[in-house]
Amino acid sequence: MRGIGCLKEGHVYVTDMDSIEKSNLNRQFLFRSWDIGKMKSTTAAEAVKAMNPNMHVRSYVDAVSLETEHIYDDHFFDRLDGVVNALDNVNARQYIDRRCVYYQKSFIDSGKLGTKASVQVVVPFLTESYSSTNDPPDPSVPICTLRNFPHLVEHTVEWARDNFASLFTIPPQQADEFMQNPKEFAERTAKNHSEYDKTEIIENVKRILGEEHPNSFTDCIKWSRNLFEQQFHNTIAQLLYNFPRDHITSKGERFWSGNKRCPHVLKFDAHNKLHLDFIFAASNLLAHIYHIPQIRDRKLIAEEVVKVHVPEFKPKAGITIHENDEQVRADLERQKNMSAMRKNGQSANDVEVEQILSRLPKPDDVLDIKIQPHEFEKDDDTNFHMDYITATANLRAENYEIQRADRSKIKRIAGNIIPAIATTTAMVTGLVCLEVYKFVQHHKKIESYRNAFVNLALPFFGFSEPVPPKCQKYLDKDFTLWDRFEVKGEMTLEEFIEYFKREHKLVPNMVSAGMSVIYSPHFMRQTSKAQDMKRKITELYETVTKSKIPAHVRSLTLNMLCDDLEENDVEDVPFVNYTFP
């Protein structure tokens, strides 16, 4: 791509919120070993400028997301000719795609997965967008398999990864949010969660901030020893109580057969390296959350853990353990219905907020507690994250007599690591550059562009012409996802409606912005309707959303349901780009 961004008016903007890791060094030529820890975008920009001082390149370290629209605003996108994307998740790609459609910018999406690679070209008015089609969802492991019936080490690793988040990430985050603003936390919990989820959130906060939170490393060891007993002994004992080794199903078949491996309980042994690995990692992870000095002396921890008294566990009758995901879904539906019944007739959310606050610790009682949640990081060998997940996954594998895995394999599974192949990276980069040349040269024919699908392992190289956008129609006019109504200048609601009647022969009968309805005559009282008709669109938007329009926002995206002038339904119309001063 020599020459791009080198003229006076030319610029290249690059952003990446990630930092350079050792594993990045072998598949690119911009980073060196002394760059480890530096931001990728900044380092890449500096390296390119060193190669070609004439190139105008500016780096950012912020993700392109809803939260950073004040950075990547109208002015930022207006000066772009196109966007090249190399993201690793679908949601981020779809967000970039929506922004490019909104600003009518060319967009090239690329991705690779081992030996596989793809390139999709999106050109305004010529092609469909990235979001126009969706890949089928990845197959997921059934919940019951993870919870109670694993038969592969991949299952035990995924369980360990979820277990890590449920102990060391999510509850501390919830407790921290509660401490920062108790009332806002209670309002969000009341508004956005089911009764079951509310109870879980409240219990998480109480566990993190309650009277039994650790005050010393010895307390952390005690907690870890009881956690071991709960996860690898008690839970399994309860499972075997519900479904004994010789249990027969209603169909006369052995319950523990096929992929259902009959587990056995583990008895803690401080001389067992794997058992002590778990205590060592869990104790230090908990200590970090509460700013308690960590201890890395295994001998000392071994001496302390044998002093911990663990109460004897007795299985209980009446405990429900789901045999399959159908039972899980039925139970969730039942809980949802019960939650809806409790809410029925309750219009005053303030009452529920006060009820939630009454179940949580009093803010004044927890002022002195400082919390720092863990954010999973697989590549730091000093943070105990992979130590815990490795020990937990292998202990669970031992429960079910599944062959253990070494740390490197567990790290690959837990971190969802797919080996990066430099050949694939180089090839997909070349394919992207070919398409960049085309939109820089303003090619206007769809047959000039090519989407690519490659698998070097087969080998397979497939190239196809991009798909044109779906054509829709309102009245006698054709439109696609790239079209919109441009409305410039502030208007009252009455002026807005009259404008569409006069200019487009359309009568709006509902106007919305996102999930907020700005205008709907069928649901408005006559008094408020008369008043709202004289109010400006931006004023109505702020009233309905209960929020001020940010200073960097110069336009609103409005959606409409319309009739024609004869009061016939018009099925679909383009969105409205409403620009105000």
Reply yes or no on whether 262 is catalytic. no
Q: How far is CA 317 from CA 147, 235, 247, 463, in A?
A: 19, 13, 16, 62
Beta-sheet strands, E only, within 49-128? 57-60, 82-85, 106-113, 116-122
Question: CA–CA separation, 385 vs 167, rounded Å?
Answer: 12
Structure tokens at 155: 């299952």
Question: CA–CA separation, 417 vs 114, rounded Å?
Answer: 10
8 A C-beta contact, residue 108 and residue 463 = no
Q: How far is CA 561 from CA 55, 207, 229, 540, in A?
A: 48, 49, 59, 18
Question: CA–CA separation, 306 vs 309, rounded Å?
Answer: 8
> Using H for helix, E for strand and C for coil, what is the string for 219-270?
HHHHHHHHHHHHHHHHHHHHHHHHCCCCCECCCCCECCCCCCCCCCCCCCCC
Quickly count helices (H) and strands (E) in the chain: 20, 15
Question: CA–CA separation, 103 vs 97, rounded Å?
Answer: 10
Burial of 44 (0-12, 13-18, 19+ CB in 10 A): buried
Residue reference for tokens 């890395």: 296
Residue 375: phi, psi to the nearest 5? -110, 120
8 A C-beta contact, residue 486 and residue 497 = no
Q: What is the DSSP letter of 137?
A: P
Catalytic residue among 144, 220, 262, 562: 144
Q: Give the dihedral sign, CA 510/515/518/522.
A: positive
Q: How far is CA 372 from CA 171, 176, 290, in A?
A: 11, 8, 7
Q: Which residues are catalytic?
A: 144
